[in-house]
Structure 1
Amino acid sequence: MARPSNRRPGYSRRAQYGLFFGYVAAVSGAVVALLLLILSTVDPNGFGALRGAVSDATLPVTSAGRWVVEGVMDTGGSVGSYINATGKVRTLEAQQKASATKLIEARALAFENMRLKRLLGISEQGLRPVAAGRLVGSTGSSIRRYAILNAGYLNGVRGGMPVRGPGGLIGRIASAGAASARVALITDGGTVVPVRRVPDGTPAIATGTGDGFIDIRALGAENATFKRGDVFVTSGAGGVYPPNVPVAIIAKATRETFLALPVADPARLDFAIVEPVYQPQVEEQRRALPPPPGQ
């Protein structure tokens, strides 16, 4: 036969003991509370001594609990300090990156100013430039080497005019459109420039090879030899290119060939100026004229 599910506590001896001890505890607590109340009324001093004894007895437990609370608070403070320190470190790192970026921008601006000053110095020392523009593109197909300049015949640019940068000669205008022009670089296979070696003035011809180099060949001197590091500038012979413009530096020298690299690498340039075609007779006449009044 199954046991009923709604058994009363009286059926369990354990439950009876539990109720009994519960009643005893409740009655004992009430009696103790009543005695303490009576003691505090009749003998306040005795009640104070008893309360002090109870405090002394519970001191270790209270101290332990306080230590736990302080430990938790210290841990929370440490965690907060760590979070704050991490935030400050991240802020300092961000400030450092921002400072590094500004430093790079300042250096880039200084380099740009220096380069523009060099370009301005060229225009002041040489012929008055026809136009200044930016090299916006280049081609490297076959042996033809061209660059695109964002200045055209509306700016006065015409075919055949020399183009130079801050470092030296870049090339020559091959064709000009309304707002752009195609520049045949000095490394182009069809570009020939009369040059001379610095400082002895040995004449030579610089011809583009189409692969980034310039072939230097002595002119009118069979026994003339060049060595690595020799610098060549335009000679001005035949016109077109004004004299004393840096052109190339010998990079590879053999018994038969002398290969040079351009002083002004078009791949590293962005700005260039276009100058009028150099005419030796006109230039000599201009220099022979007396300076204008006030100069």
Structure 2
Amino acid sequence: MASPKSRRSGFSKKQQYSVFTGYLLATLGALLGLALLVVSLAYPSLLQPLRGGATTIVSPASEVTAAARTERQGIWETLTGFWRAGTQNARLREEIEVSRIRLAEAQAIEAENKRLKALLGLYAGENAPIATTRLVASSASSVRRFAYIGVGSSDGVEIGMPVHSERGVIGRVLETSLGSSRILLLTDTESVLPVRRASDQTVAFAEGRGDGLLRIRLINLGLNPLEVGDVFVTSGAGGYYRPGVAVAVLSELTPDGGIAQLIAEPSATNYVSVEPIYEPLAVQASGVRERDELTQEELQD
């Protein structure tokens, strides 16, 4: 018996139903999606529970994904950090070195300001200094001990004027030129300075030894009353130096006095000030007496 003409070979009813069901489900899905879209636009609050439930369902999976992503980023950053560590360490070391240099410069400026303030403080209530300047150079390898400063006669500096640092006496002006002066330091073998012990009125002479130290010679010989550590200051005798300025500290005893170390060490001094002569009339009188004594000696000869 021949098959009907409407029958198509290779196509069964089951396959037709499957295709029809697929189309039907797709159409229903599209309609449902369209309906949900309309409802979400018209009534947003109605779908909030659904969105919340969906978020709750997918949240664990999202956390796992986020954790994995964070872990990958951490591993990458660690590897990158190891790769860049050498360059960063070199740069940090350079920055630290520069910071140390800047800190040292700042400390030097602070110390210099303290010295200048100390110099200014020396003259509260006293005569103002003639000039304040740097100690340009000082001799330390010969028996004669001189220093040089960058001010001279054009700045009002005269021979005989005392020179101080913020710590004490340095010496006095020996020679002057237009823009500089030579200083006779206290440690020079030709330097003799009247001093007294700071704690009482024990008077002595501080004589330079040419080796950076001073010899303290007592005027009144007898039992030596001095002790190691005694501080000596200017006595004001002679008229050059004002009294009470620090000079030296006794470091060793001798039968007629002792050996002392300078308080104002020239090699450690940057700034000095030139003071006017404390008693010009006394200095002039002393000079007249010296000239008269020399004249009498010449006449006797």
TM-score category (smaller protein): 0.5 to 0.7
Say whether the 8 Å CA contact 2:149–2:183 is kept in structure 1: yes
Q: Say whether 1:158 aligns with 2:158.
A: yes
Q: Deviations over 1:234-260 (max 9, x none)?
A: 000121111001000011223345110
Q: Deviations over 1:91-139 (max 9, x none)?
A: 2212222222222122112111111110111133432111111111112
Q: Say whether 1:216 aligns with 2:206.
A: no
Aligned to 2:103, the other structure's residue is in SS state helix
Q: What percentage of aligned pairs have identical amino acids?
A: 39
Q: If the length of structure 2 is used for normalisation, what is the TM-score?
A: 0.65
Q: Deviations over 1:198-253 (max 9, x none)?
A: 11121111010111000001112422332211100000012111100100001122
Q: If the length of structure 1 is used for normalisation, what is the TM-score?
A: 0.66
The match for 1:97 is: 97
Q: Deviations over 1:171-202 (max 9, x none)?
A: 01000011000000000111111100011121
Q: Deviations over 1:70-94 (max 9, x none)?
A: xxxxx99977543311111122212
The match for 1:206 is: 206
Q: Say whether 1:106 aligns with 2:106.
A: yes
Which stretch of the first structure deviates more once superposed, 119-128 or 187-196? 119-128
Q: Say whether 1:131 aligns with 2:131.
A: yes
The match for 1:20 is: none
Say whether the 8 Å CA contact 1:173–1:183 is kept in structure 2: yes
The match for 1:15 is: none
Aligned to 1:261, the other structure's residue is in SS state strand
C-alpha distance in 2, partners of 1:118/1:79? Answer: 58
The match for 1:279 is: 279
2:278 maps to amino acid: Y
Segments of structure 1 that go 5 or more residues without pairing to the other structure are 1-74, 283-295
**What's the CA shift for 1:141?**
5.2
C-alpha distance in 2, partners of 1:82/1:208? Answer: 66
C-alpha distance in 2, partners of 1:126/1:263? Answer: 21
Structure-2 change in CA distance of 1:256 and 1:130 (3 Å): same
2:234 maps to amino acid: T
Q: Deviations over 1:262-281 (max 9, x none)?
A: 11000000110001111187
Structure-2 change in CA distance of 1:153 and 1:171 (3 Å): same
Q: Deviations over 1:44-67 (max 9, x none)?
A: xxxxxxxxxxxxxxxxxxxxxxxx
C-alpha distance in 2, partners of 1:200/1:257? Answer: 15
Aligned to 1:247, the other structure's residue is in SS state strand
C-alpha distance in 2, partners of 1:241/1:193? Answer: 9
C-alpha distance in 2, partners of 1:148/1:238? Answer: 24
C-alpha distance in 2, partners of 1:93/1:140? Answer: 40
- Within a 5 Å distance, the mapping from 1:47-196 to structure 2 comes to 81-140=81-140, 142-196=142-196
RMSD after superposition: 2.2
C-alpha distance in 2, partners of 1:213/1:267? Answer: 13
Structure-2 change in CA distance of 1:280 and 1:211 (3 Å): same
C-alpha distance in 1, partners of 2:268/2:83? Answer: 48
C-alpha distance in 1, partners of 2:241/2:280? Answer: 10
C-alpha distance in 1, partners of 2:94/2:262? Answer: 42
Aligned to 1:273, the other structure's residue is in SS state strand
Aligned to 1:147, the other structure's residue is in SS state strand
List structure 1 runs of 4+ shifted beyond 4 angstroms: 75-80
Aligned to 2:220, the other structure's residue is in SS state coil
The match for 1:244 is: 244
Aligned to 1:124, the other structure's residue is in SS state coil
Say whether the 8 Å CA contact 1:236–1:280 is kept in structure 2: no
C-alpha distance in 2, partners of 1:222/1:242? Answer: 28
